[in-house]
Structure 1
Amino acid sequence: MPTPGSLMLDLQGLALTDEEAELLLAPEVGGVIFFSRNFQSTEQLAALVAQVRERRQDIVLAVDHEGGRVQRFREGFSRLPPMAALGRCFDAAPGEALSLAAECGWVMAAELRAFDIDLSFAPILDLDYGTSTVIGDRSFHADPRVISQLATALMAGMHSAGMAATGKHFPGHGYAVADSHVAVPIDERPLSEIRRDIQPFQTLISAGLDAVMPAHVIYSKVDDRPAGFSRLWLQTILREDMGFDGVIFSDDLSMAGAGVVGGFEARAEAALSAGCDMILVCNAPEGAREVVRWLHASAHRPSSRLATLRGEPTKVLGLQALQASDRWRHAQDAIRRIGDLASAHMNPLRKGEGGE
């Protein structure tokens, strides 16, 4: 099977439009990311995936399906807890929390693989400093050692279901207050302090992390560009110093945090030049087409790493068979246990837990 192209884009609705069907044939396109607007029912989702696969068998299908408030598919899927609930479980019962995290990762991945979706962009490795408007309860914990353990267990569950894991948002979005969807966050700490945020990434890399997504955050005492456009962050620190050899995804190039480097062509060129293997352009159809034209004109060759992203076909069960399995029923018990244990050890609502 050929290597997927370097661009991941999104779709407008519940079925492919004629224009989208034609665009998917461009070899520069290598992925599709789904959003809540692309989901109405499990039957409709299966039909949409089949439409995409009919156009391109090699394409990588992805979704943000972390749990809590960031879970794009709901009806017919297990309702996953926010990762902060697992952190509270860890505070109460560390050993049990690791087992629950593995079950959570497995059921998340197994249900998506039942629809031939390759990736959930998880786990999130950002520390909870109680200040970020976009991270909040998406974070496992404030302690990097706890995040490292829980995220490693969650990743093991994902791997057992045949899904690659993507750590985000390197080197850490939890300290910066602003939301990079709508602003340009700046983290003014020196590298010596940021290394605390990097610890979970290093731990998961050592444990077999498949992919990393950098933050649209400027770490001003390290580099004047956001991490996803910085060769220092991606090549020197992530690849050379930390030994990461997996896939690097850009975060969405339509976000405000990416706008500091120019238009879509400039953003794509900057991200790929910095070391990203696959770039995302979402909620900007003309921007995606502009990037396709630029990739074609520049004769850009996609990274061979992208061939590693497809889910393992031998691990796929249809949803009905999956939900009839003992493993799936055990995972439902685990999800209920996470809720019960986390509620029993609930801290007052931390700043940042209420937003999108």
Structure 2
Amino acid sequence: MSASIDRDARAVLLPAFDTLDVLDIMVPFLKEGGCSVLIGETRAEYVARAMSTERLACETPDGFRASIAALQAVTPHLIVAVDQELGGIQRLAGLVPPLPTLDEAHTLSPDALAERCRITAQGARALGVSMFLAPIADIIDGQNVWLRARTMGSYPQAVARLVSAFVTGVQAAGITAVTKHFPGFNDLAEDPALADVCLATPLDRILHNMLPFKAAIEAGTKAIMTGPAPVAAIDGNNSASTSPAVMAMLRSQLGFKGLVVSDDLDAPATLRGQSLLETAIASLNAGADLLLVAGGPHLSALSEGIAAAAQCGDIKQQRLADAAARVRQIAGGG
């Protein structure tokens, strides 16, 4: 049982790196039960919403594919996630056929847009990628520096149409779409990755802006990512990624049955003064299945802490096992 818990504790983690040079950390992690990796971007690239000229000059499809293949040699059924957003951050810029621009996407029919997204996803699959942390379903009708230049519009019906086509297209190519950031963050005073900020939007406005998430679920999105900040109208004490009430809304009110992915647990608005381990435990207990965390040498201690929490009852062993099983199902192509 202990060995199973240890492996489950690693299976529920999605470590993020801003480089392809991850073997030293990821190989031991994978051998001990991990099955996911996020090939991300630097903070500067994240802020710029574009890959750096240096990255674009040095990364090639063959080099990217070889780096992923080295990880797949350890864990053949490996979730390889990237940010590949329509209108936002595109980690695979220069490596795969591009997504349409946002302006172009709004002019395409749903079928035509889905086909363009499928072609991009097909290129990603050829590189070994299996998951897009996209589409962004948030409606921005206030200020939000965190999502500025990443969202797809201010009108729920228009965004819902794009979200549905994106999910349909990328999943037709075998890529898991992770629709984000539930329940939607329309107006944040600060960046939750930098400050402990709370969404103060009234519930009726949140529900009004939730249409794109409902469209994603109707389109069959295999995963949904919860947001990084508290939502006062639902649960003002816990971030969406650690909130039982937010998870219950997603599961019970929207009827979502798939994989729930947390946003970055290292964000100040998610940690809220707690340790990373305490936050990971809270996220699992709330109902998240796959926990996004920064990659690094601390992964081993974090995994051991989660396993110990399951051993002593701070996390129900069945909850951990169910989360790990849902992650492995997605990793296996389910």
2:15 to 9, 17, 36: 9
Partners of 1:287 and 1:46 lie apart in 2 by 26
2:64 equivalent to 1:59: no
Q: Secondary structure at the match of 1:61?
A: strand
2:32 equivalent to 1:20: no
Unaligned runs of 5+ in 2: 1-6, 43-54, 312-319
2:327 equivalent to 1:306: yes
Checking the alignment, whether the CA contact within 8 Å between 1:8 and 1:32 is kept in structure 2 is yes
Partner of 2:262: 250
Partners of 2:19 and 2:256 lie apart in 1 by 36
Partner of 1:229: 242
Partners of 1:103 and 1:217 lie apart in 2 by 34
1:43 to 40, 62, 68: 62
1:17-46, Cα deviation, whole Å (9 max, x unpaired): 43432222121x231000246982212111
Q: Secondary structure at the match of 1:187?
A: coil
CA RMSD of aligned residues (A): 2.4
Partner of 2:306: 295
TM-score (normalizing by structure 2): 0.82
**CA distance 1:271–1:53, shift in 2 (3 Å):** same
Partners of 2:326 and 2:64 lie apart in 1 by 27
Residues matched between the structures, number: 302
How far residue 170 of structure 1 moved from its aligned partner, in angstroms, is 0.3
**Which residues of 2 match residues 254-269 of structure 1 at below 5 A?**
254-260=266-272, 262-269=274-281
1:119 to 128, 131, 153: 131
How far residue 251 of structure 1 moved from its aligned partner, in angstroms, is 0.6
**Which residues of 2 match residues 129-144 of structure 1 at below 5 A?**
129-144=141-156
Checking the alignment, whether the CA contact within 8 Å between 1:35 and 1:63 is kept in structure 2 is yes
Partner of 1:326: none
Partners of 1:99 and 1:230 lie apart in 2 by 36
The structure with higher relative contact order (CA 8 Å, sep 6+) is: 1
Checking the alignment, whether the CA contact within 8 Å between 1:65 and 1:108 is kept in structure 2 is no
**CA distance 1:19–1:172, shift in 2 (3 Å):** closer
**CA distance 1:26–1:260, shift in 2 (3 Å):** same
Partners of 1:97 and 1:137 lie apart in 2 by 23
Q: Which aligned runs of 4 or more in structure 1 are off by greater than 6 angstroms?
A: none
Partner of 1:197: 209
Partners of 1:124 and 1:82 lie apart in 2 by 14
Partners of 1:241 and 1:63 lie apart in 2 by 29
Partner of 2:39: 34
**Which residues of 2 match residues 336-351 of structure 1 at below 5 A?**
none
2:229 equivalent to 1:210: no
Unaligned runs of 5+ in 1: 314-356
- Which sits farther off after the overlay, 292-301 or 141-150? 292-301
Partners of 1:18 and 1:286 lie apart in 2 by 9
How far residue 305 of structure 1 moved from its aligned partner, in angstroms, is 2.0
1:72-108, Cα deviation, whole Å (9 max, x unpaired): 122332233454x25xx53xx4xx3424421332123
Partners of 1:248 and 1:72 lie apart in 2 by 22
**CA distance 1:141–1:194, shift in 2 (3 Å):** same
How far residue 184 of structure 1 moved from its aligned partner, in angstroms, is 2.4
AA matched with 1:15: D
Partner of 1:70: 89
How far residue 12 of structure 1 moved from its aligned partner, in angstroms, is 6.2
How far residue 166 of structure 1 moved from its aligned partner, in angstroms, is 1.3
**CA distance 1:22–1:287, shift in 2 (3 Å):** closer
How far residue 290 of structure 1 moved from its aligned partner, in angstroms, is 2.7
AA matched with 1:7: L
Fraction of identical pairs, as percent? 25
Partner of 1:277: 289
Partners of 1:295 and 1:238 lie apart in 2 by 24
Q: Secondary structure at the match of 1:276?
A: coil
1:187 to 172, 177, 199: 199
Checking the alignment, whether the CA contact within 8 Å between 2:135 and 2:177 is kept in structure 1 is yes
AA matched with 1:60: I
